[in-house]
Amino acid sequence: MNYIYRIYSDITHHHPSSLPLPSSPPPPSPPPPLLSSPPSPPLLSTNHLPDASGMVKLWHYPTATCLATISEKRQTLSIEVNPDRTKLLTTGSDALIHVYDLETRQLINTCGTSDSQQLMDGHKFRVFAAQYHPATQNTFISGGWDNTVQYWDDRNPHSFRHFTGPHICGDSLDIDASTNQILTGSWRRTDILQIWDFLTGAKIHDVPQNMDDTSSLYCAQWLGEDSIVSGGSSKNMAQVHNRTTLNVIGKLTNLPKAVYCIDNDHLGLDATIAIGFDCYIYLVKSERTGEVRVMTPESTTVRAYSVNNDF
């Protein structure tokens, strides 16, 4: 089967580019996220795409030109680029994090646990997410199946700090540089959405959930300064929480499959949110309202796409 990555415009509602990939086994669940770099030479309008077969492909998406391919002997589960766009991280099924020079595409470091029985200085199982601190060029955090969030310097082989708690199974790790807070989303029934202090690793909040109307989370992001957006399985929905009151202020419900990926244009309460599930992408425009807005696929505020056609 052939898999195609498509680039959509949230303004024109069309996909100007399709990025064909060679035949490969189906991607794992959840599928890896799509990361875009802002226009800056030499990687102008370039996307970095991880693949279940261990390929990371760098694209110039306006021309659908593959600039380079990095092959890893594992399932590559996520990618991250540092703030000055000089390094690329990949995480995977072997509990290791690879650091590449983004210009040369050469491996420059591998981050993992040591042989010490006394230290927890790396991951033990699959790593599904990594996030650089936006104000640094070398410090990043990561999370996965071992219920830890690890702190790393990408120049060193082992982590220098960690805290325990989040069970991360997707792109559900985010950092707010203005408040030095970490957001985590866990794939479990309780304590699924949490806020932590970056400097100490101390938990600040468990975001309350209605246990009769909640999802085990695959994805979570800060939504500007005021809100949080998350999505997952079980109830198959996406939610927006107010960051101050922690109340739910928006929902996208009645989805037939789990929400595996979320992104937003970082415009706060005026943001456009992209929500991905099954073979569809919904674009949801948030609204300034004091009431909970329950959004369904039939809502006029939702724009839907499939992998084959625009709706």
Q: Which of the given ranges, 62-76, 179-193, 206-220, has the highest pLDDT on average? A: 179-193
Mean pLDDT of the chain: 82
SS (H, E, C) the chain: CCCEEEECCCCCCCCCEEEECCCCCCCCCCCCCCEECCCCCCCCCEEEECCCCCEEEEEECCCCEEEEEEECCCCEEEEEECCCCCEEEEEECCCCEEEEECCCCCEEEEECCCCCCCCCCCCCCCEEEEEECCCCCCEEEEEECCCEEEEEECCCCCCCEEEECCCCCCCCEEEECCCCEEEEECCCCCCCEEEEECCCCCEEEECCCCCCCCCEEEEEEEECCCEEEEEEECCCCEEEEECCCCCEEEEECCCCCCEEEEEECCCHHHCEEEEEECCEEEEEECCCCCCCEEECCCCCCEEEEECCCEC
Distance CA 62, CA 10 (A): 15
Residue 288 has pLDDT above 60, yes or no: no
Angstrom distance (rounded) from CA 230 to CA 238: 6
Q: pTM of this prediction?
A: 0.83
- pLDDT at position 22 over 60: no
Is residue 57 included in any domain, yes or no? no
Residue 88 lies inside a defined structural domain of this protein: yes
Whether residue 287 is predicted with pLDDT greater than 50 in this model: the reply is yes
The pLDDT of residue 20 is 60
Is the pLDDT higher at 261 or at 252? 261
Task: Establish if 9 belongs to a structural domain.
Answer: no
CATH of the domain at 186: 2.130.10.10
**Percent of residues, the chain, with pLDDT higher than 90:** 54
Please check whether residue 42 lies inside any domain of the structure.
Answer: no
Query: d(Cα 222, Cα 237) in Å, to the nearest integer?
Result: 17
Name the more confident of 285 and 17. Answer: 285
Among 101-110, 195-204, 282-291, whose mean pLDDT is lowest? 282-291
Q: In the prediction, which pLDDT does 17 show?
A: 54
Task: Bin 22: left if φ > 0, else alpha if -120 < ψ < 50, else beta.
Answer: beta
**Does residue 8 lie in a domain region?**
no
Which pLDDT score is estimated for 51?
Answer: 62
Count of domains for the chain: 1
Whether residue 209 is contained in a domain is answered as: yes
Would you say 301 and 274 are in contact if contact means Cβ atoms under 8 Å apart?
Answer: no
The answer to the question of residue 15 being in a domain is: no
Residue 11 has pLDDT above 70, yes or no: no
Predicted confidence (pLDDT) per residue in 66-103, tens digit: 888 899 999 999 999 999 999 999 999 999 999 999 99
For tokens 């990618």, name the residue: 79
Question: 108 or 55: whose pLDDT is higher?
Answer: 108
pLDDT at 195 over 50: yes
**Residue in the structure block whose two tokens are 């219920």:** 147
What is the arithmetic mean of pLDDT over 27-46?
43
pLDDT tops 80 at residue 159: yes
Q: Please tell me the distance from the alpha carbon of residue 190 to that of residue 215, in angstroms, as a whole number.
A: 10
Q: Tell me which residue has tokens 């991880």.
A: 50
Structure-model confidence comparison of residues 99 and 63, the more confident one: 99
pLDDT band for 10, please (50, 70, 90 cuts).
Answer: low
Q: Is residue 202 part of a domain?
A: yes
Whole domain around residue 297: which residue ranges? 73-306
- Is the sign of the CA dihedral 17, 18, 20, 21 positive or negative? positive
